[in-house]
């Protein structure tokens, strides 16, 4: 276990944020993601558990967290990667982990992150969606709903506009 | 159960419905639990000739319950098209009526009447089985006299 982390540290400049008994948090760079993933997959981390995105409006970044579990080591690796909020693009890991395909598809839909190389990034829930990505903090959903669904002329719905 | 909402044209339509009303259920989320006690043995909808049918082609009545997302309302429309005339649409619960607690959600419909011709509204969150039977009995009265 220690060897893998030391290799990641020396080879790709990975930073260890926190270490617990069964969990390790790492901070990595965007361009090394594919190499890191293929290296840890060779070393037992073969279960792509989940992919999370956090929109940090103040720092103008979107933080992606890859949760990758190893059954033999009973450890989960949480790899944090920050990408630019203006140009949310990152290479897809669906070539390494097949299961990441649908997670990336969901993040693309809800946060607008473009995963380069993912074969299918069509919408899961939001069919015919034309607005901005709904889970971004900059999305003014209340205003969007007012515009799209309600009318000021309707007596019952007038209260929503005040 | 605002029966004034049913206009004259719809009245004629209701009169063509046979006495037993077979329903096709289209439920999202908690919509199923809203009508579940009515299906069960305590309130037993079969007393009134209501049977849930597996195919929309056999149904006289479409019950739409629970919030409808922009994705599911398309399927509901398809189901409505497949039903044979005369057909009735019942909006069950407050969500299809006005959006309910999802009044400010970006992906649910707010007024069912914008998408389907609704004949009967049964509000409530959830509506009591008595309210559902009251609505259904009004439908039966309308269709038989």
Read off the pLDDT of residues A1-11 as tens digits, 9 standing for 90 and up: 788 888 888 88
Partner-chain contact A160 B103, CB within 8 Å: yes
Is pLDDT of B7 > 80? no
CB contact under 8 A, B106 and A134: yes
Q: Cα–Cα distance between A124 and B54 in angstroms, integer?
A: 26
Q: Residue ranges of the domains in chain A? A: 2-93
* Count of pairs with CB atoms under 8 A, one residue in A, one in B: 30
Q: Is A150 on the interface with B (CB under 8 A)?
A: yes
Q: Which residue in chain B has the smallest CA separation from A125?
A: B71
C-alpha to C-alpha distances, A30 to A27, A64, A105, B77, B126, nearest whole angstrom: 10, 10, 18, 45, 49
Nearest CB neighbour to B104, from listed A127, A142, A156: A142
Tell me the C-alpha distance between A28 and A80, whole Å.
6
Average pLDDT over residues A53-78: 93
Q: What is the pTM of this model?
A: 0.79
Question: So what's the pLDDT on residue B9?
Answer: 62
Looking at chain A, the whole-number percentage of residues with pLDDT higher than 90 is: 60
With tokens 């901005």, the residue in question is A132
Residue B20 has pLDDT above 90, yes or no: no
Q: Is the pLDDT of residue B1 over 50?
A: no
Report whether pLDDT(B5) > 60.
Answer: no
Q: Residue B70 above 50 pLDDT?
A: yes
User: Over chain A, what is the mean pLDDT?
Assistant: 91
A44 part of contact set with chain B, CB < 8 Å:
no
Q: Is the pLDDT of residue B2 over 60?
A: no
Q: Which range among A35-49, A51-65, A76-90, B29-43 shows the weakest confidence by mean pLDDT?
A: B29-43
The band of B100, judged by pLDDT with boundaries at 50, 70 and 90, is confident
The nearest alpha carbon in chain A to B75 belongs to A127
CATH code, A2-93: 3.30.460.80
Mean pLDDT, rounded, for B28-36? 84
Judged by a CB distance cut-off of 8 A, whether residue A145 touches chain B is yes
Question: Which chain A residues contact residue B104 at CB under 8 A?
Answer: 141-142, 145, 160
3-state helix vs strand vs coil in chain A, percent to 5:
30, 30, 40
Mean pLDDT value across chain B = 84
A153 shares contact with chain B (CB less than 8 Å): no
**Residue among A128, A129, A145 whose CB faces B104 most closely:** A145
Determine which of A133, A140, A145, A156 to mutate to test the interface with B (most B C-beta atoms within 10 Å).
A145
Asked if pLDDT for residue A83 goes beyond 70, the answer is yes
| B33 against A107, higher pLDDT | A107
- B106·A128 Cβ contact <8 A: no
Check whether the bond before A15 is cis (ω within 30° of 0): no
How far is B52 from B50, CA to CA, in rounded Å?
A: 7
Mean pLDDT (whole number) for A26-49: 91
pLDDT at B6: 53
Sketch the domain layout of chain B as residue ranges: 17-56
Amino acid B76: pLDDT = 93
């Amino acid at each position: 276990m220690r060897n893998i982390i030391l290799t990641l540290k020396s080879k790709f400049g990975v930073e260890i944020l926190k270490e617990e008994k069964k969990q390790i948090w790492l901070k990595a760079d965007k361009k090394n993601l594919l190499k890191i993933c293929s290296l840890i997959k060779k070393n037992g981390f073969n279960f792509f558990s989940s992919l999370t995105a956090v929109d940090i409006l103040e720092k103008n970044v979107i933080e992606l967290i890859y949760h990758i579990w190893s059954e033999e080591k009973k450890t989960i690796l949480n790899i944090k990667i920050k990408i630019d909020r203006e140009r949310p693009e990152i290479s897809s890991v669906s070539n390494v982990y097949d299961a990441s395909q649908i997670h990336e598809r969901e993040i693309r839909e809800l946060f607008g992150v473009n995963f380069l190389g993912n074969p299918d990034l069509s919408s899961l829930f939001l069919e015919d969606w034309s607005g901005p990505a709904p889970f971004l903090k900059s999305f003014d959903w209340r205003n969007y709903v007012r515009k799209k669904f309600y009318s000021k002329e309707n007596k019952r719905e007038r209260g929503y506009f005040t | 159960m605002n029966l004034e909402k049913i206009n004259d044209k719809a009245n004629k339509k209701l009169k063509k419905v046979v006495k037993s009303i077979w329903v096709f259920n289209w439920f999202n989320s908690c919509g199923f639990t809203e009508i579940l006690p009515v299906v069960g043995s305590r309130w037993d909808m079969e007393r009134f000739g209501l049977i849930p049918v597996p195919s929309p082609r056999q149904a006289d009545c479409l019950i739409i319950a629970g919030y409808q997302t922009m994705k599911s309302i398309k399927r509901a429309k398809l189901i409505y098209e497949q039903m044979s005339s005369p057909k009735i649409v019942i909006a069950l619960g407050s969500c299809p009526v006005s959006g309910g607690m999802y009044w400010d959600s970006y992906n649910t419909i707010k007024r069912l009447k914008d998408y389907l011709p609704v004949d009967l509204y049964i509000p409530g969150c959830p509506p009591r089985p008595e309210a559902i039977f009251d609505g259904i009995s009004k439908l039966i009265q309308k269709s038989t006299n």
